[in-house]
């Protein structure tokens, strides 16, 4: 049984885009195929909450080979999407000192498949934020169905 959502899903309005791909790119260094967030729609530094989304397209580099005839958004890309969400939070809260790179992942569970033409809403709750390290609990949803959960550890690089 999945855990409770970190954020009340009804409070997330993906039509209210706080940061689009261009604005995210001014904060996160990821480019081209690895710029995985399409929008940030909730950012609450005081509560340590963030939500964003990824519109999975049918022309992405992995579709042809993962899995032919039934493409499934790779789990490692879900983890990377969650990491970019945590990075965006940390870099908008404490912008100086390089960028936030992977320090680790913990407790990752994949609870459902994600296919092209689906929107994955990633939510995060920041558990710890320091100048050199950030830890965020994250979850991914397609509609109200949880498809991913895990804790992201980011380190300044």
Q: Per residue in 117-148, pLDDT tens?
A: 999 999 999 999 999 999 999 999 999 999 99
Whole-number Cα distances in Å, 50 to 10, 35, 57, 151: 14, 17, 23, 14
Average pLDDT, the chain: 96
| Whole-angstrom distance, CA of residue 73 vs CA of residue 120 | 10
Alpha-carbon dihedral 100, 106, 111, 115, rounded to 10 degrees? 30
Q: What is the pLDDT of residue 152?
A: 98
Alpha carbons 142 and 116: distance in angstroms, whole number: 12
**Backbone φ and ψ of 104, nearest 5°:** 160, 170
Query: Residue 39: what pLDDT?
Result: 98
The predicted-structure confidence for 17-64, as pLDDT tens digits, reads as follows 999 999 999 999 999 999 999 999 999 999 999 999 999 999 999 999
pLDDT at 1: 84
Is residue 114 within 8 Å of 54, Cβ to Cβ? no
pLDDT of 93 strictly over 90: yes
Say whether pLDDT at 78 is over 90: yes
pLDDT at residue number 97: 79
pLDDT confidence band for 116 (50 / 70 / 90): very high
pLDDT of residue 2: 86
- Across the chain, the runs of DSSP E, i.e. the strands, are 19-20, 39-44, 49-55, 100-110, 119-129, 133-142, 145-156
pLDDT at position 82 is 98
Is CATH 3.10.129.10 the right assignment for the domain spanning 9-156? yes
Is 30 tagged catalytic? Answer: no
Q: How far apart are CA 100 and CA 84, in angstroms?
A: 9
**pLDDT for position 151:** 98
Catalytic residue among 5, 17, 63, 66: 66
Kindly state the tokens that stand for 30: 């990821």
3-state secondary structure of 9: helix
Domain chopping of the chain, boundaries? 9-156
């Amino acid at each position: 049984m999945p855990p409770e959502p970190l954020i009340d899903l009804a409070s997330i309005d993906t039509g209210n885009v706080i940061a689009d791909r261009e604005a995210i790119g001014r904060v996160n260094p990821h480019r081209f195929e690895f710029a995985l967030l399409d929008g940030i729609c909730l950012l609450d530094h005081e509560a340590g909450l963030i939500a964003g989304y990824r519109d999975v397209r049918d022309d992405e580099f992995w579709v042809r080979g993962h899995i032919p005839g039934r493409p499934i958004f790779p789990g490692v890309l879900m983890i990377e999407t969650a990491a970019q969400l945590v990075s965006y939070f940390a870099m908008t809260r404490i912008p100086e000192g390089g960028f936030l790179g992977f320090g680790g992942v913990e407790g990752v569970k994949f609870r459902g498949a994600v296919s092209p033409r689906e929107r994955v809403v990633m939510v995060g709750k920041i558990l710890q934020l320091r100048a050199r390290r950030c830890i965020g609990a994250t979850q991914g949803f397609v509609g109200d169905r949880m498809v991913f959960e895990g804790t992201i550890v980011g380190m300044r690089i």
